[in-house]
Amino acid sequence: MQSFLHYRMDLNAMEENYRQKNRTCFILGASGETGKALLKEIVERNIFSKITLIGRRQLTFEDKAYENLVQNVVDFEKLDEYAEAFQGHDVGYCCLGTTKAKAGAEGFVRVDHDYVLKSAELAKAGGCSHFHLESSKGADKTSSFLYLKTKGQVEAEIEDLGFERFSVYRPAVLLVDREESRPAEWVAQKFLGAFSSVFPTMSIPITVVARAMVVNTLKDGEKRVEILENKAICNLGDKK
């Protein structure tokens, strides 16, 4: 209990210290599950002076806590025409992604590689100093699996852009209560969720990933490029 209170006090101090820096951020993929959880975490902690959502459509929010959000609607097929949307942000969060099942192989690569990389390029050109990327456990540019290869390739190419700080998150199976009904996925999540605390390399609640991204933002980076595997994400995000 004492260690938890000490952690909470440290986190509060980190938040206040970060708040004083008057920094701004943007979020890509705020309509997705991780993006939603991340946005909620950021809004509740109130650590940024300005939060911008960049996406293909305008999002609606009932909670008044979201009323000061700035939203920039872009066409990801013509991102160069929307370079202004990426200018003037200190921190960028990319939770953009789709699946091969949903978009097909070509569509998956276009979103998870092309859109992500172009967004990172524009963010770097626009002055972003700390870029966060939600990737995947097993990401490897030399993999024979399209999904893992694509994730690994975009990680490497964004690293080459030379951000002052680049944070990569490689979560395992994401545990989330989706709005749509997916019976098979629900069963798998219930099974993995029961063992998530015992075997933290198998799965991770999506709220823990979001919290880890925010807590990591508050910390001073020890390295220019940091890759957080699933266990490290759990350790960072399991405290409220």
Residues noted as catalytic:
147, 151
Six token digits for residue 100: 């091969």
**Residues pairing with 175 in the sheet:** 205
Residues 6+ apart with CB under 8 A from 158: 116, 117, 120, 131, 133, 166
Q: At what angle do helices 146-159 and 116-125 cross, to 10 degrees?
A: 10
CA distance 151 to 135: 6
